[in-house]
Amino acid sequence: MFLNLITFAPFIMTLEQEIAKRRTFGIISHPDAGKTTLTEKLLLFGGAIQKAGAVKSSKIKDHARSDWMEIEKQRGISVATSVMGFNYKDIKINLLDTPGHQDFAEDTYRTLTAVDSVIMVIDCVKGVETQTEKLMEVCRMRSTPVLCFINKLDREGRDPFELLDEVEEKLSIKVRPLSWPISMGKTFKGVYNLYEKTLQLFTASKVTVEEGIEISDIHSEQLDKLVGENYAKQLRADVELIEGVYPEFEVNDYLAGKVAPVFFGSAVNNFGVKELLDTFIRIAPPPIPRETTVREIKPEESKFTGFIFKIHANMDPKHRNRIAFLRVCSGKFERATNYYHVRQEKGIRFSNATAFMAQDRETVDEAWPGDIVGLYDTGNLKIGDTLTDGEKLMYTGIPSFSPEIFKEVINKDAMKTKQLEKGLLQLMEEGVAQLFTYELGKRKVVGVVGALQFEVIQFRLKNEYSASAEFAGQNIYKACWISSRDPKKLQEFIDSKQRHIARDKDDKLVFMAESRAWLQMVQENFPEINFHFTSEFKD
Ligand code: G4P
């Protein structure tokens, strides 16, 4: 009776509290290093999935190169797994998926603009591979904090010291091991946590995780009993070397993107994953301030701002529906509210907004900094667009990168020219590839990171826009965005290189360089001109 009279005020968190509990990150790796497996284990810990095998791989395997249905199917899967939100120990984790296939690397680069930190997975047998090197370059550009997980310790891998040297050398980042493996492969004993001073003995295929055994002194006999005399001796020698070679771990160096803490484990055996996750939620940054064309915006500012980093279009060819992925950067996003679309200088309102929780999509009424919201769009939004509460500013740091393969678009059906133009425009807005239009003759050249993209474009133009296009190879090495402090010099350069000057989707000037050697020569001959490999730059 008495209780009925008492009204319980619901616990409402402040904006600061919402921000403090969020971690938005991506996993990067070379295909096959174990990204999908690790993702799945993280989701298991978060209770977002109940059993292994629930996360479908979003990678397109090589054998599927020409299998269009496979590509379409994968597009469907990758929408479902684009963002996986889950809670772990009171922390709201937003894991942004990145395509594994290197031909879709541009998509990965863009997704990395929407995260606050990254977990990098490296295969201990193969070491640092090319795709990881490229992705790390993008992280370095933005000083993104990186946590490194060396995977597959149940296999005979390379010497751990050698692996760490390779990471430092190839990825240009300092490392600091926080755990250390005791042997590998068939004789893999487990991992010693250098900070907690605990030993995790290796047990394969466990979903539950045992508590680590505390070893307050690695010189104690307890260690010999647990792992055997020889391995204990080796661990003692390794730890001594680590303490001598690597400086103490400083969280601030990690947050500044200068040092990557390293963990060892085996994702498929769920070994070392919990330690990784526990450390991740402790040290990874909550949503961080971000630069705009006007000023830096802090997440705790009360007014909403956010930007679009990904667009998924035409999932249903009968309806031109698209989902735009919005990263909330400050304030609170509310559904069915009028916001300001800065590029179009007009108000925009979304009655249909989606949050991503594990593999389900659910309608959301509000979202906080660090959250990703899916917005149903009918063609108003482009990658890089900023939405605000009214302020005129654009988020920066969402550049286009120079593609690596270029081909001219040849229209094969003059009756469908309009459809082709519309299709190309929409696919470019979606970020499938980049379009460059030459100043002379208005020739259109499509640039991509991987050859598979041309096949996707051709297929989708036909399937979704009834347009027929072919592609003719072009002898182009790089697209360089050009600028100069001296407008006269810039004009002189444009006049002398007319045949090689094009415009990108935002009308920015681009020099299409035919070869590395030629570009070098041009750079030497025109020292007042700046050549950039990304569309955003500071002179
Ligand atoms: P990716 O997303 O980075 O491309 O890699 P994914 O997780 O799909 O893993 C690639 C392969 O490596 C998978 O084997 C996976 O089972 C295996 N793997 C992941 N973690 C470990 C590990 O700790 N130890 C060992 N030995 N293998 C690991 P697969 O044969 O390609 O696929 P599946 O049939 O096992 O699914």
Average pLDDT over residues 113-135: 92
Give me ligand 1 centre to Cα 106, in Å. 24
Residue closest via CA to ligand 1's atom 25 equals 152
Give me ligand 1 centre to Cα 133, in Å. 20
Average pLDDT over residues 260-274: 92
Q: How far is CA 356 from the centre of its chain?
A: 16
Phi and psi at 183, nearest 5°, equal 60, -175
Phi and psi at 283, nearest 5°, equal -110, -20
So what's the pLDDT on residue 352? Answer: 81
Q: Give whichever of 72-81, 101-110, 230-239, 315-324 has the largest mean pLDDT.
A: 230-239
Equal fold, 22-185+246-283 vs 292-388: yes
Rounded CA-CA distance 151/191 in Å is 12
Pocket of ligand 1 (CB under 6 A): 29, 31-37, 57, 59, 100, 151-152, 154-155, 266-269
Residue closest via CA to ligand 1's atom 29 equals 32
* Amino acid letter, 20: A
Atom of ligand 1 nearest to the CA of 30: 3
Which residue is listed with tokens 């992925």?
A: 325
Q: Quick check: helix, strand or coil at residue 254?
A: helix
So what's the pLDDT on residue 407? Answer: 96
100 vs 395, which has greater pLDDT? 395
Give me ligand 1 centre to Cα 173, in Å. 26
Q: What is the β-pairing status of strands 338-341 and 444-448?
A: unpaired
The residue whose CB lies within 8 Å of the most ligand 1 atoms, and thus the one to mutate among 37, 61, 135, is 37
Condensed to tens digits (0 to 9), the pLDDT of residues 132-146 reads 888 898 898 889 999
In this structure, CATH architecture of domain 292-388: 3-Layer(aba) Sandwich (3.40)
Which neighbouring-strand residues pair with 519? none
- The tokens describing 193, both together, are 């946590």
Residue closest via CA to ligand 1's atom 14 equals 32
What's the mean pLDDT when you consider all of the chain?
86
CATH ID of 405-532, from 3.40.50.300, 3.40.50.970, 3.30.70.3280, 3.40.50.410: 3.30.70.3280
Give me ligand 1 centre to Cα 340, in Å. 44
What pTM was estimated for this model as a whole? 0.85
Q: What is the β-pairing status of strands 305-313 and 386-388?
A: antiparallel
Domain spans, the chain: 22-185+246-283, 292-388, 405-532
**What's the CATH code, domain 22-185+246-283?**
3.40.50.300
Give me ligand 1 centre to Cα 167, in Å. 21
So what's the pLDDT on residue 55? Answer: 60
**Cα angle: 196, vertex 202, 203; to 5 degrees:** 130
Give me ligand 1 centre to Cα 123, in Å. 10
Rounded CA-CA distance 525/88 in Å is 57
Condensed to tens digits (0 to 9), the pLDDT of residues 325-377 reads 999 999 999 988 999 999 999 999 988 887 776 556 677 888 999 999 989 88
So what's the pLDDT on residue 106? Answer: 76
